[in-house]
Amino acid sequence: MDYKWILHPCTLLQNLACRFLKEIEMEIAGLFAAAFILVVAFAYLVWFWLLSRRLTGPNVWPLVGSLPGLIANRNRIHDWIADNLKSTGPATTYQTSVLPLPFVRQGLVTVTANPRNMEHVLRARFENYPKGPIWQSAFHDLLGLGIFNSDGDTWLLQRKTAALEFTTRTLRLAMARWANRSIKTRLWRILADTSNAASMCSVVDLQDLLLRLTFDNICGLTFGKDPETLSPDLPDNPFARAFDTATEATLQRLLFPGVFWRIKKALNLGSERNLRLSLKVVDRYMTETISVRTNNPSDDLLSRFMKKRDGNGNVFSASVLQWIALNFLLAGRDTSSVALSWFFWTLMQRRDIERKVLAEIASVLRETRGPDASRWVEDPLEFDELERLVYLKAALAETLRLYPSVPEDSKYVVADDVLPDGTVVRAGSTITYSIYSAGRMESIWGDDCLNFKPERWLKLAGDGKKGARLCFEPNMDKYRFVAFNAGPRTCLGKDLAYLQMKTIASAVLLRHRLELVPGHRVQQKMSLTLFMKNGLHVHVRPRNLNFDIDGGVGNLTEFCHVTTNADSTVPIAAAA
């Protein structure tokens, strides 16, 4: 019999001792790990406590920062930011963290609506507050190193080149020509068909029409090519759809830390997959357009840039030309149409303002086209006629004060700095200036800041008697109103935007009376551009000029009694 399997007592004791020691080692290792985790957690909580003491904004939680508040208020994010700023009192500045981790300064965000802080960021310390790596990496796939996604010498070269073109009267006349063409041949026809419909239930989404109209206009101005997205059948344009998808997917990258969208991009998931597919369509369209313009140059912006040289004296490459064109397309398409949507919505709430706008248009057209009102609607207003519409411009400026097309903008902090209000900003962090909030601050605009009051932009020029006339006077402190940005990055297309908006607004108001569809809820879409989430659904009625001008408003003399003290006390901003 083999007794080898029977363990010697000493061997058995050794095995038991080894097992016991291993278990002790594992328990000790577990205790050390638990102790280490507790020490790290305690150290983090101490660090977080010290951090949170310096933060003055919404509640910030360990690890998740202010994200719970952002998510809870995702359907009113701009008003939530404004509420947080108002709670700080006259400072109108707070600091928060969206990713409270040690050594990760990108999670620290300073939010301000203080005009002095905005001047500091946009002008006085301009070099310390570029677009920065977060913004540039998010937008690079769509905009490359175009003017709205670049800094330093790259930005400066494009800025100087574009400035030479945007200051010419030729470009403004070209914009007027494209806008008038689209209005007369397509917009008027669509609105007329709607207003003449037998059913009183005929509804049109005015925001959609305006987006299509301004898209056609900016494409014509930029490429010399009209995609005709504004047509009676409202066609689906592959390039327009792809550009919309690419823009929306790109904007989503800014909502969360960069690692999230980079993982989605690597895995080709969700919005990143949509971005990749849409960019293929955009690239193909732009390649064809640039090829056509290379062989057949015109007077559009793309053709003009083809004649320019870069810093080394070379012509711009096809990829750079594509970046330049898409940057102008992005800037010129949404901003005007969004502002006009809020403008028309406001006039539907404020018929008194609408009557004043109509009275001014009538006073100009009586002088330029005669007393016969039927002649006023034969063609859209000409450039010289539009220049005289100061009350309309004031109403548009007031719209942008309360509903800026770009409600928030952000900059990257290069080096530690101190803002004029004493707020310390750290290198690597982000500073956001809230244009939307600035228009709603009593400390900036007074007790009537929520009232829609175009008169705040006007003054009476002349001797106050017979020769008095209304003049548009932008507020002397231009950093209270930065809807068109300010400082070295002031929007080059500001005058073009006002021109296009006045052209479209006058063309629509002269022919049609708009009425909001009962029950239609107008809400802000939570995007970097202040779209209306559900569109702007309206009934379109024919305009009775004889009543609305003469019977409803009165003559020019009555209109000219509008002064900067006029009372427009309805808090229209509170309704949206």
Among candidate residues 54, 69, 85, the one where a domain is terminated:
54
Cβ distance 278 to 285 under 8 Å?
no
Classify residue 373: in a domain, yes or no.
Answer: yes
Residues 16 and 156 in one domain: no
Least confident piece of the model among 241-250, 414-423, 479-488, 547-556: 547-556
My answer on whether 25 and 156 are in the same domain is no
Rounded distance between C-alpha atoms, residue 389 and residue 364, angstroms: 8
In a domain, 374, yes or no: yes
Cα R_g (the chain), whole angstroms: 30
Closest of 514, 557, 542, 541 to residue 377, by C-alpha: 542
Whether 54 shows a pLDDT value over 50: the answer reads: yes
Strand-pair partners of 258: none
Summarize pLDDT for 180-214 with one digit per residue, the tens.
Answer: 999 999 999 999 888 776 455 688 999 999 999 99
Same domain, 150 and 48: no
Instruction: Assess if residue 86 is contained within a domain.
Output: no
Q: Is the same domain home to 31 and 159?
A: no
State whether 208 and 340 are in the same domain: yes
Residue 139 lies in a domain: no
Q: Which residues pair with 112 in a beta bridge?
A: 93, 433
Which residues, including other chains, have CB under 8 Å from residue 396's CB and lie 6 or more apart? Answer: 339, 343, 498, 501, 502, 505
pLDDT greater than 50 at residue 468 = yes
Residues 43 and 152 in one domain: no
531 located within any domain: yes
Q: What pLDDT sits at residue 23?
A: 72
Residues 280-308: pLDDT tens digits? Answer: 999 999 999 999 888 888 888 888 888 88
What's the pLDDT band for 347 if we cut at 50, 70, 90?
very high
Confirm or deny that 491 is annotated as ligand binding. yes
User: What secondary structure does DSSP assign to 348-370, as a single string?
Assistant: HH-HHHHHHHHHHHHHHHHHHH-
- Average predicted confidence (pLDDT) for the chain: 86
Statement to judge: residues 183 and 35 lie in one domain: no
Question: Reading across the β-sheet that carries 204-205, which strands appear in turn?
Answer: 204-205, 537-542, 512-516
Per the domain annotation, does 295 fall within a domain?
A: yes
CATH classification at residue 488: 1.10.630.10
What are 374-393's pLDDT values in tens digits?
Answer: 899 999 999 899 999 999 99
Task: Tally the domains of the chain.
Answer: 2
Q: What is the pLDDT of residue 200?
A: 58
| Same domain (yes/no): 211, 358 | yes
Tens of pLDDT, residues 420-441: 999 999 999 999 999 999 999 9
| Residues 435, 534, 481: CA angle, nearest 5 degrees | 15
Residue pLDDT, tens place only, 6-23: 555 566 666 666 776 677
Q: Give CA–CA dist 79/95, Å, rounded.
A: 17
In this structure, the answer to whether residues 345 and 217 fall within a common structural domain is: yes
H-assigned helices in 108-205: 115-119, 132-143, 152-166, 169-182, 188-195
Give whole-number Cα distances, 474 to 39, 181, 344, 352, 480, in Å. Answer: 58, 30, 22, 22, 10
Asked, for residue 414, whether it belongs to a domain, the answer is no
Domain housing 15: 11-54
Residue 260 pLDDT: 86
Residue 21 lies in a domain: yes
pLDDT at 30 over 50: yes
pLDDT at 575 exceeding the cut of 70 = no
Cβ proximity of 474 and 397 under 8 Å: yes
Q: What is the pTM of this model?
A: 0.88
pLDDT of res. 551: 47
